[in-house]
Amino acid sequence: MTLGMTLGTTPGTIKRVLLVDDDAAVREALGQTLDLAELEPLVAGSFVAAKDHITPGFEGVIVSDIRMPGRDGFHLLDHARQIDPELPVILLTGEGDIPMAVEAMGRGAFDFLEKPCASADLLAVIERALRTRELVLENRKLKAQLERGDPASRMIFGLSQAAEALRARVRRVAATQSEVLVHGPPGSGVPKVAEVVHLMSPRVRGAFVKRPAAGLSPEGFEIMLAEAASGTLFLDEVGAMPEETQFAALARLEQGVEARVIVGSTQDLAARVADGRFAPGLFYRLEGMAVRIPALSERPEDIPVLYRHYVAQAAEQAGIAAPEITPEHLAGLMAQDWPGNARSLMSAAMRFVLGMPDEVQAGAGLGLAEQMAQVERSLLIAALGRHNGRAAAAAEALHLPRKTFYDKLARYGIRPEDYRR
């Protein structure tokens, strides 16, 4: 799939439609209609030919004629609901009547249309069914993620490769006894990830002592170590730690401490070392076991997952029903850079639930071309972030010729070196 095709829908959106009709001419006509709509038709001429495609995780929806030789559309509907009760099945018939429509809906059909029907009407129903299917499958993945039981799955959300890599890194780091540096851009959840490291470590039964590093004296550092003796001491924004405490902390860590020390930072500590504002020895000791949290701009495909979670959370807190989130709204969210990361996305979700106008939504008031350009830019940045700023690898991942990829980077003023770590 090319990047241009991807921009037609939300990344990750399912587009497969299983067409079942015994009339070859009808199958061909419907298939062409779906092709023109940039969907992915999968055709079958009978129940027998279709049933092998119907699985619990089928990433698509079914459109079937009712009147077919042998087992008809109702048999197919019943079979699909036995395999997966939440798989949308749209039934078509050239001999429609009210009792048949009532029976179809009563047996669990997603919708019932009489042939011939206008292409626009059919595509509108299919689009609704695909959205429904996407949400069902996404929720199943999240539920499976939560049921794995470990805090990394419960507390670090996202279905992207970047999110899974973050969870895997947290699990590996948590199993050690070393000091840990958790760093990421502002609003990315540094304290939360530090807590997950503690919860997954052998020290989980001990205390998680969280303190700001700014203004911390050497004596205060010793007191904090004592408080967290059998657990974990987390010092947030370690870059703001006073110079004398930095050197005292390094000496104390080299002697050995009973508590495990995790530090967090939203600043570039290497830059602070370079300009003399952070002790090199302490930095090099901490960076050996580091956890980097990627920015939302590096994983825009996680924005719908996170946003839906925050909306549900905000609605529960407010004691009201969660409003419907349209694909257009999600596309607008994905088109933003989100410099405030998860924190600002959470605030946007709260405003959305409370019906407050969201002035920061980038897609508001823009035409289709401008919105698509914003999404394209975010996808380019995400690919560079995933591949450590390596343009060739990012271009390959997006199935783009290198020249085309570089032309797009130049158009949006994106520099690969800004995404190298």
Reported as a single tens digit per residue, the pLDDT across 336-379 is 888 899 999 999 998 888 887 665 444 445 555 666 676 677 77
- For residue 155, the enclosing domain spans 151-292
Residues 138 and 90 in one domain: yes
| The pLDDT of residue 82 | 93
Residues 319 and 336 in one domain: yes
The last residue of one of the domains, among 144, 170, 203, is 144
How many Cα atoms within 13 Å fall on the side-chain side of residue 196? 25
Residues 235 and 122 in one domain: no
| The pLDDT of residue 375 | 67
| The pLDDT of residue 176 | 93
- Amino acid at position 360, single letter: V
pLDDT interval class at 333 (50, 70, 90): confident
Q: What is the CA radius of gyration of the chain?
A: 26
Helices (H), 228-367: 243-255, 269-274, 280-287, 303-318, 327-334, 341-353
- pLDDT > 50? residue 4: no
Quick check: 98 and 18 in contact, CB under 8 A? Answer: no
| The pLDDT of residue 329 | 82
| The pLDDT of residue 146 | 55
The last residue of one of the domains, among 274, 292, 310, is 292
Residue with tokens 């205390």: 207
pLDDT tens per residue across span 93-118: 877 667 787 888 888 999 988 888 88
| The pLDDT of residue 171 | 94
Residues 137 and 156 in one domain: no
Cβ neighbour number for residue 369 with a 10 Å cutoff: 8
The CATH number linked to 234 is 3.40.50.300
pLDDT interval class at 2 (50, 70, 90): very low
Least confident of 60-74, 195-209, 325-339, 353-367: 353-367
Phi, psi of 167 (to 5 degrees): -60, -40
| The pLDDT of residue 372 | 65
Residues 286 and 156 in one domain: yes
Residues 191 and 125 in one domain: no
Cα–chain-centroid distance for residue 152?
Answer: 15
Residues 216 and 108 in one domain: no
- Peptide bond preceding 116: is omega within 30 degrees of 0, i.e. cis? yes
Counted residue by residue, the chain has a size of 421
Residues 104 and 74 in one domain: yes
The number of domains in the chain is 3
Task: Spell out a b/e string for 234-263, using b for 16 or more CB atoms within 10 Å of the CB, else e.
Answer: bbbbbbbbbeebbebbbebbeeebebbbbb
Quick check: 239 and 278 in contact, CB under 8 A? Answer: yes
pLDDT interval class at 79 (50, 70, 90): very high
| The pLDDT of residue 368 | 56
Reference 46, options 33, 65, 62, 29; nearest CA is 65
Residues 304 and 287 in one domain: no
The CATH number linked to 63 is 3.40.50.2300
Least confident of 14-23, 154-163, 306-315, 376-385: 376-385
Give helix 327-334 / helix 341-353 axis angle, nearest 10°.
150
- pLDDT > 80? residue 399: yes
| The pLDDT of residue 8 | 32
How many Cα atoms within 13 Å fall on the side-chain side of residue 333? 30
Task: Reduce the DSSP state of residue 212 to 3 states and report it.
Answer: strand
Residues 92 and 48 in one domain: yes
Residues 209 and 238 in one domain: yes
The last residue of one of the domains, among 121, 144, 167, is 144
| The pLDDT of residue 9 | 35
Q: What is the mean pLDDT of the chain?
A: 86
| The pLDDT of residue 174 | 95
pLDDT tens per residue across span 118-166: 899 999 999 989 988 887 887 777 666 556 567 887 788 888 889 999 9
Residues 361 and 393 in one domain: yes
- pLDDT > 60? residue 62: yes
The CATH number linked to 303 is 1.10.8.60
* Residue range 306-332: mean pLDDT, rounded: 85
Query: Is this model's pTM higher than 0.75 or not?
Result: no
